[in-house]
């Protein structure tokens, strides 16, 4: 008989960044909540358990995940049925009234909360802007949004700046479809992935159009499907639509195309990238399961299975310290590993 785990949070609440702290204070309860997890179901390697309560609608594709530091609230964004706050034994749907947002899987769902200051700022953008991705740089009090065919906008010092109009060369093309956005903790490094113009890196007050001349190179025309940069700026991962994954560590780029080392094939399509603040823990979600990088080594999270739908990973999350990891699947399942934030009770 399968064992069930009852996970109870033991950490107190932490204060989120100023833009949404008021909102979270209102919706996050003061008492600890319980999540219920089920032991191995035959798909995941050792160390992972599956969330069974609270549950989302069956078959719901999960597109992004985030765990509040105290561990008793889970935010889930889905492809087709919106965003949810999961606490205790229920997942409640979050509402938003921002017409600029579509239902894209790449939207930071925290930005969709109706009562946050961020929502008010978004409404100051031009009416024809359709946001595809969003990033809040809390330490620098900046906001980045990526659009469909209108490049990117940066909110800084009380106003929005269209980054395609930047005087720093090379600037972002005006028709860029910004697929992914990520930044270091203080915003001194910003990594932007586009659908039609490759990848750009902002550092030293200058935009760099990234090219990586490997056997299967990253070019200025590459479709960047996912990307991320560690909070300390030391690690970057860029996943392309049809040319595999590129990793920047120890001040050099390499193509993760050696199955014996990373488990990744050259053409592996990665849907989601998450990492710890120091970049030493990296979690990739792909069509063939999840890949975990820890202590300088890669491992494949999923066991071999003939049904790819069961192991297509569409969302990943890594806690700042790298001790807690989440993966979400195309069919709505959520798994967690290394419950460093929880007190585990076995019945």
What would the pLDDT profile of 119-147 be if each residue is shown by its tens digit? Answer: 677 778 887 888 778 787 877 788 888 88
- DSSP code of 107? S
Across the range 246-255, mean pLDDT stands at: 92
Q: DSSP characters for 320-346?
A: TTSS-EEEEETTS-EEEE--TTEEEEE
User: What is the sign of the dihedral through the CA atoms of 42, 300, 242 and 78?
Assistant: positive
Long-range contacts of 253-261 (CB under 8 A, 24+ apart): 253/212, 253/214, 254/214, 255/212, 255/214, 255/215, 255/216, 256/298, 257/214, 257/215, 257/216, 261/298
Judged on CB neighbours under 10 Å (0-12, 13-18, 19+), 72 is: buried
Give the pLDDT mean for 8-32.
Answer: 32
Asked if 226 contacts 264 with a C-beta cutoff of 8 angstroms, the reply is: no
301 contacts 43 by C-beta, under 8 angstroms: no
Selected residue with higher pLDDT from 108 and 332: 332
Q: What pLDDT, in 10s, does the model give residues 279-297?
A: 999 999 998 889 999 888 8
Nearest to 258 by CA among 268, 271, 249, 269: 268
- Name beta bridge partners: 66: 75
Q: What angle do CA 108, 110, 113 make, to 5 degrees?
A: 125
Average pLDDT of the chain? 75
Query: How far, in Å, CA of 228 to CA of 247, rounded?
Result: 10
Q: What is the mean pLDDT of residues 98-119?
A: 51
Q: Hey, what's the torsion of the CAs at 85, 87, 92, 96, to 10 degrees?
A: -30
Delimit the domains of the chain by residue range.
95-197
Is 0.85 surpassed by the pTM of this model?
Answer: no
Q: For the residues 81-104, what does the mean pLDDT come to?
A: 69
Q: Are 195 and 170 within 8 A, CB to CB?
A: no
Per-residue confidence (pLDDT) for residue 7, from 0 to 100: 35
- The predicted pLDDT at position 309 comes to 64
Question: What was the pLDDT predicted at 8?
Answer: 35
> How many CB atoms lie under 10 A from the CB of residue 213?
8
User: Which pLDDT band, with edges at 50, 70 and 90, does 22 fall under?
Assistant: very low
User: How much is the pLDDT for 143?
Assistant: 84
HSE-CB at 133 with a 13 A cutoff on CA atoms is 27
**Whole-angstrom distance, CA of residue 220 vs CA of residue 212:** 9
- Cis amide bond preceding 309, omega within 30: no
Q: Would you state the pLDDT for residue 96?
A: 60
* Distance separating alpha carbons of residues 308 and 287, to the nearest angstrom: 7
Nearest alpha-carbon partner for 86 in 53, 59, 111, 57 = 53
What is the rounded average pLDDT of the residues 260-279?
A: 83
Whether 345 has a pLDDT exceeding 50, the answer reads: no
Higher pLDDT, 242 or 230: 230
Output the CA angle 138-139-143, nearest 5 degrees.
40
Q: What's residue 40's pLDDT? A: 61
Question: For residue range 281-338, what is the model confidence (pLDDT) as tens digits?
Answer: 999 999 888 999 988 888 888 776 666 666 789 999 999 999 889 999 888 888 888 6
Q: Is the pLDDT of residue 221 over 70?
A: yes
- pLDDT tens digits for 40-66? 666 777 678 888 888 787 778 888 888
**CA atoms of 86 and 72, how far apart (whole Å):** 8
């Amino acid at each position: 008989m399968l064992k069930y785990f009852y996970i109870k949070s033991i950490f107190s609440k932490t204060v989120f960044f100023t833009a949404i702290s008021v909102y979270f204070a209102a919706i996050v309860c003061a008492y600890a909540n319980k999540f219920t997890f089920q032991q191995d179901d035959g798909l995941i390697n050792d160390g992972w358990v599956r969330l069974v309560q609270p549950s989302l609608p069956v078959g719901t594709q999960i597109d992004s995940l985030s765990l509040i530091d105290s561990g008793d609230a889970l935010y889930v964004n889905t492809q087709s049925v919106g965003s949810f706050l999961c606490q205790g034994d229920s997942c409640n749907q979050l509402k938003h009234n921002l017409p600029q947002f579509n239902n894209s899987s790449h939207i930071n769902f925290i930005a969709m909360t109706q009562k946050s200051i961020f929502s008010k700022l978004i409404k100051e953008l031009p009416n024809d802007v359709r946001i595809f991705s969003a990033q809040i740089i809390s330490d620098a009090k900046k906001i980045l949004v990526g659009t469909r065919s209108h490049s990117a906008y940066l909110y800084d010092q009380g106003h929005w700046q269209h980054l395609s109009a930047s005087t720093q060369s090379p600037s972002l093309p005006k028709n860029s479809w910004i697929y992914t956005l990520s930044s270091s903790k203080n915003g001194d490094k910003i990594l932007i992935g586009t659908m039609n113009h490759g990848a750009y890196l902002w550092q030293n007050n200058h935009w760099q159009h990234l090219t990586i001349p490997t056997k299967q190179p990253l070019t200025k025309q590459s479709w960047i499907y996912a990307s991320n940069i560690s909070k300390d700026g030391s690690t970057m991962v860029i996943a392309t639509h049809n040319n595999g994954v590129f990793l920047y560590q120890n001040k050099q780029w390499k193509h993760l195309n050696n199955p014996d080392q990373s488990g990744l094939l050259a053409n592996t399509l990665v849907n989601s990238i998450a990492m710890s603040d120091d970049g030493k823990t990296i979690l990739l979600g792909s069509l063939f399961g999840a890949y975990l990088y820890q202590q300088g080594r890669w491992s494949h999270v999923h066991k071999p299975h003939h049904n790819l739908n069961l192991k297509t990973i569409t969302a990943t999350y890594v806690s700042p310290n790298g001790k807690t990891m989440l993966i979400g699947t195309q069919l709505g399942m959520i798994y967690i590993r290394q419950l460093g934030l929880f007190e585990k009770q076995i019945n």
